[in-house]
Amino acid sequence: MDSKTFVLVHGAWHGGWCYSRVRKILQQKGHSVFTPSLSGLAEHSHQYSPAINASTHIQDIVNLIEFEQLNDVVLAGHSYGGQIITGVADRLSDRIRALVYIDAFVGQNGKSCFDMDIPEFVANHVEQAQNHGGHTSIPFSAHLFGVNEADRAWVDKMCTPHPFATLAERISLSGAHETIKNRTYIFAAGWHPSPFKPIYEQIKMQPGWKLHELECGHDTMIDMPHETAQILLEAAG
């Protein structure tokens, strides 16, 4: 089997660590796997800044692809990371083999994550930010996201505060990302209330998407790493 290249982008509060199981599975099969942590998060949390926004994180991944000289990339994004991979694909559409949204927002021109989120989650973000200087979103609990009980303490320990501006910024897209027709959506059906259910329902009515449902919590790469890795391999073709 030919070696494929995967770039896996994490969601809010997380870091590249959340893909450790999936990365190992894919690497053992001979593939190249990049699991960067976005600016201000995880091992970069000491560089946290209120100035970090979605554009910063899009640039993080654009730079990774350009400086690692990657092509034919399977680009995946979890949760908030779906906003980021859409922005990256819009700028580097000729380098992307496939897009995989893992229980994620699907970025739209002129929309922020808050514009696509459910009101109670947005209200929580805003309240937390107001209680922490106006620019920080404190991690939601692993329990809320339906993470399996054995991993909840680990996930809660590893998550770090997230820059509020990344969730509030409305991104601008040229439409170039729409030329990438190889698109997959993974819906995590095992947690509620999910802001991604209405997104998934809309996608089901659109032609061309490969659709998968996993009976687990929001962090499918933690709860069901083998199944998540297999879907990524199928997207790679």
CATH T-level assignment (fold) for domain 5-236 = Rossmann fold (3.40.50)
The rounded average pLDDT for each run of 10 residues, N- to C-terminus, in the chain (237 residues) is: 93 98 98 98 96 98 98 98 98 98 97 91 82 85 97 98 95 97 98 94 95 98 98 97
pLDDT of residue 57: 98
Longest dimension (CA), the chain: 52
pLDDT of residue 130: 80
Q: Which two tokens stand for residue 205?
A: 């009515």
**Catalytic sites, residue numbers:** 79
∠ CA 110-19-30, rounded to 5° = 115
pTM of the model: 0.96
129-137: Cβ within 8 A, 24+ apart: 129/164, 132/161, 133/50, 134/50, 134/164, 135/50, 135/163, 135/164, 135/165, 136/50, 136/161, 136/162, 136/163, 136/164, 137/12, 137/13, 137/161, 137/162, 137/163, 137/164, 137/167
CA 186 to chain centre: 11
Number of C-beta neighbours around residue 84 at 10 A: 32
Contact 93, 176 (CB under 8 A): yes
pLDDT of residue 125: 80
